[in-house]
Amino acid sequence: MKFLNHLTFGQYIPAESPVHTLDPRAKILSVLVLLTGIFLVRHPLAFIPWGLLLAGLTALSRLPFSMVLRSAKPVLILVIFTSLIHIFFTDGRPLIDLRIVVVTREGVTMAVYMGLRLLFLVLFASFLTLTTKPMELSDGLERLFSPLVPLGFPAHELAMMMTIALRFIPTLLDETDRILKAQLARGASFDRGGIWKRLKAFLPVLIPLFVIVFARAEDLATAMESRNYRGGEGRTRMNPLRWTGADTAALGGILLFVALLFLADRRFLS
């Protein structure tokens, strides 16, 4: 049995599709535009085109629709909780009177609106990680941050650190799991007592973990140095990012979609 195996960092699903082959920079920027757009929606009905967009993008990316929906599972409880609060605690015209609480028209509208907003935020955010490899994401971030390099921002180092950290998370999870079991076998308990007692119980886990991290860091640094790694300057890539017409079209299309929806929302619905 493993304690920590339910954690997944990055949820990339490989497929051959126009969405997968887009430049990661175009995808990151598009998702930022989309998330802003979702925050600007004012009327629950305006989420219909958003649903259509998500369905369209999912079809285009050749991902199974259920897979995309499943990525919202971690926030489902939050969505339901938020909606319930809105249903029961909004004043307005009563719809159903349950004696203790009154369900109002406004409450139901708000619940649907807030629930959908939260759901779409998460769905679009995870659509990015579903269709983009973590490595591509960190490459894309490096290039997006590169204008800040003259100001002293370590864009290359940051991307490299993200790549290394991402690579080591599964290893560290395995190691942490091993240490947890070893300490449990020696009679440690991690879920009893007050908060301070629980935190102190973690010390015998953390010290061996840092010793392992030490060994890994030394090995990796030596391996990189012996291959003559000297930072980002003058470094070449096996697969350099290329911004093509398709990327401009995708980003432009998304911008247009969000702008049109925003105007329609303000003009007809609110």
The residues that touch other proteins, with contacts defined as CB under 8 A, are 4, 7-11, 35, 39, 74-75, 78, 82, 85-86, 89, 114, 117-118, 121-122, 125-126, 129, 134, 137, 141, 154, 157-158, 160-162, 164-166, 168-169, 172-173, 176, 195-196, 198-199, 202-203, 206-207, 209-211, 213-214, 216-218, 220-221, 224-225, 229-231
> Considering beta carbons, is residue 148 or 246 the nearer one to other proteins?
148
| Buried-state track 125-142, b at ≥16 Cβ within 10 A, e below 16 | bbbbbbbbebbbbbbbbb
Distance CA 230, CA 213 (A): 22
The Cα angle at residue 57 between residues 53 and 58, in degrees rounded to 5: 115
Q: Packing angle between helix 155-185 and helix 134-145, nearest 10 degrees?
A: 140
Q: How far is the CB of 16 from other proteins (least distance, A)?
A: 22
The alpha carbon dihedral of 146, 127, 32, 260 has a sign of positive
Closest by CA to 112, choosing from 77, 142, 84, 143, is 84
Distance CA 70, CA 80 (A): 15
Q: How far is the CB of 168 from other proteins (least distance, A)?
A: 4
> Considering beta carbons, is residue 26 or 117 the nearer one to other proteins?
117
> Considering beta carbons, is residue 39 or 238 the nearer one to other proteins?
39
As a whole number of Å, the end-to-end CA separation of the chain is: 53
> Considering beta carbons, is residue 71 or 246 the nearer one to other proteins?
71
Q: How far is the CB of 245 from other proteins (least distance, A)?
A: 28
Q: How far is the CB of 95 from other proteins (least distance, A)?
A: 19
Rg of the chain's alpha carbons, rounded to an integer?
24
Q: How far is the CB of 224 from other proteins (least distance, A)?
A: 6
Distance CA 137, CA 17 (A): 17
> Considering beta carbons, is residue 65 or 210 the nearer one to other proteins?
210
> Considering beta carbons, is residue 245 or 270 the nearer one to other proteins?
270
Q: How far is the CB of 248 from other proteins (least distance, A)?
A: 25
